[in-house]
Structure 1
Amino acid sequence: MRQGLLAGLVLAALSASGAFAQAPLRIGVMGGFSGVYADVTLGEVEAAQMAVDEVGGKVLGRPIEVLSADHQNKPDIGAAIARKWYDVDGVSMITGIDTSSVALAVRKIAQEKGRIDLNTAAGTVDLTGPACSATGAHWVFDTYALANVTGSALAKAGNDTWYMLTADYAFGHALERDVTAVVTANGGKVVGSVKHPISTQDFSSFLLQAQASKAKIIALANAGGDTVNAIKQANEFGITDSGQHLAALLMFSTDVISLSLPVAQGLMLTEAFYWDLNDETRAWTAKFRKLRDKLPNMNIAGTYSATLHYLKAVQAAGTDEPKAVMAKMRELPVNDMMTKNGKLREDGRLVRDMYLFQVKKPSESKGKDDIYKLIATVPGDQAYRPMKDGNCPLIKN
């Protein structure tokens, strides 16, 4: 009896002192920080920390902690990390989560637990389709937008025959599907495709098949180190010298830096962010580079954006309860250095402008980081798939 009374008095004292209120709000940043996607994901943790610092390191009187983990591009590892973070470590939100197969696995865990996942770095459009979630969001790009912006521009320019070189997993399959639809809608034809394993080092046989197709466009439905290696080897084989053109359907500024302008010049690509767009993006990039000296890409900027909007929503909701926070995230417009007046839809898609860029020629560049020229700004309602077409179970047409 006395023990119970003593325990009650201790709990009351802790409550009165605010000890419980000071329990940290934990955010998890998960990514493929080693392997084929390392160069495009390293920097996401620092970006999330920048958002935390921007709100003063606390929300609702609680200190904010950022956890990080490498899922190694393996869905089972990603799912295990998510389960531990949610169940054991008290993580309220997970972000980053590149690699589509991992993203879909983490989404299942988040749905099971009723927790928040804000995906900034995976491509599959299924995250706002069959795998949509009331407590999940897709923040930066997806395969539909990449196919729609880059694919439409190239197809409308008279490139009516395409050959797909596709990474053999969920992301590559989704991107090939979406590009094929765009090319066909613009009167073109995909004359063939070949699948390659993720992280392959030798693209010679795949590129020779693409070259033999005589297609005007060889479209790379892959990402990270796979895209870089494919372009390098295509350049070595002289494929583009014969009149065929490469289309990098998902390419990052970090990839262009890795390739160099002499190799990447002329490539058309779609991104949601570029460091040199305006004074805000330049100022943010300068702050980021004090933490990690590399050019930030859209994955990195997106992790900052998603984390900042989440923290603003927690503050506005007065709680970190997932559904209340998600309601605020949808209610509040997304405004930061990357996104202006963005709107988070019911299916989890953040609707924001996308940009069509062309990689500069060396003669056009004013410095090593001056890599893009802006070709077009595509409003979000034109770039992304209409919500009614996504087959998201949350949406009643």
Structure 2
Amino acid sequence: MTKYPQEVETVQVSEPRQVLFITDHLGGGGAPVSILGLAKVLTTQGMAVTIVVLSDKVWQPIPEGVNVLRVPFSHRHVIDKIRRFRLHARKVDQLLTRLSLSFDLVVANLHYSHEVIRHTQLAQQAWLCIRTDPGEALLNKKGIAQYKQRRRLRSLYKGSRVIAISHGILESLAKHGAPPAVGKVIYNVIDVEAIHALMEGAVEYDDYVVYVSRLNLRQKRYDRLFRAYQASGIAQPLVVIGDGEEEAAGRLIREMGLENRVILLGKKDNPYPYIRQARLLVLTSDYEGFGRVLAEALVCGTPVVSTDCPSGPREILRNDLSAYLVPLHDEAALARQIAAAIEHPPTISPGHYARFSPDTIADQYRWLMSTEPVSHDL
């Protein structure tokens, strides 16, 4: 009996897509959370994700399977400081040569990384992801200082490939004479499942209003928050979660006679139970890139009231929720809307935050790998 060899089917195994994120740091703030959230979902979908951090500041937990490489740089003298972007870029290029990888997608996050990446071998391939309103850098600048800052914006972003986390960011670039060659709006990833798992913990308060953000007077305007809360006349205490200018905020609370009504809790590793059980979350910023905490509050089912600041809140609070946006400098309207939201809270549904789901956002990054965009996404 003759034996014939079995026919073996040849299976072509494709290599995973290679994604490179470059960032100033993975420390505090919303940007590292967003970068790592995106890295997590792309890795889950079978991509190989590398994050190059241009400092030693890596404070956040790293998702399984994500490769994080630190490439810090410190200048030794003034000349090095002046040439820091080019010198740091040289270190990045040396690392990339050692890695010997061809990346399908390169995204630089945060301003310093934008400056460095344009001097590297990946300058033409990289997307610059802008996570805050670029016009913010022009605030409080006049004359020659404002001219120089606007020139920097134009030098960096005009004619570049830009990802913006809100439409308002692209509009701000255009307003200041720095329109990108290609602009794409991709919102921050909001990990709905993770938030739902984290938000069920117990908290020590009930029937309260919550504020969750850094205590930063220049941007976050906790002075506006305290004044509007006081003017609203609501009975609920205000629970404040966040670090930063805690001493200054405490002084202002005492000056306003709010010691028994405003509670400073400091930073919480898991703020979601506090958001989930609050009657209302309030955001009072002068500017945002996106306003991540607003979307997170909606995931928790918590109504929100926000200033209509550039550039994200209006894109999160749409349709029926747009009524809870108030003009930026109208504290009386803010106070009225806080009281109205307590009296007649809106019902929050998954449709209010579906646009920010991991799969939705990951699909848009996949699109960047397979398509060469040709027009602004305005």
Q: TM tier, shorter chain?
A: 0.3 to 0.5
If each structure's strand is expressed as a fraction of its own residues, which one has the higher value? 1
**TM (normalized to structure 1)?**
0.34
- Structure (1 or 2) with the larger CA radius of gyration: 2
Q: 1 or 2 for the larger relative contact order (CA 8 Å, sep ≥6)?
A: 1
If each structure's helix is expressed as a fraction of its own residues, which one has the higher value? 1
**TM (normalized to structure 2)?**
0.35
